[in-house]
Amino acid sequence: MKFSEEHEWLRADGDIVVVGITEHATVQLGDLVFVELPEVGTEVKKGDEIVVIESVKAASDILAPLDGEIVEVNEAIVDAPESVNADPMGQGWFFKLKPSDPGQMDSYMDEAAYKELIA
pLDDT in tens, 17-36: 999 999 999 999 999 999 99
Every domain of the chain and the residues it spans: 2-102
Domain spanning 2-102 has what CATH number?
2.40.50.100
Taking only Cα atoms into account, the Rg of the chain, rounded to an integer number of angstroms, comes to: 13
Q: Tell me: the pLDDT tens digits for 57-99? A: 989 999 999 999 999 999 999 999 999 999 999 999 999 999 9
Q: Tell me: the pLDDT tens digits for 36-65? A: 999 999 999 999 999 999 999 989 999 999
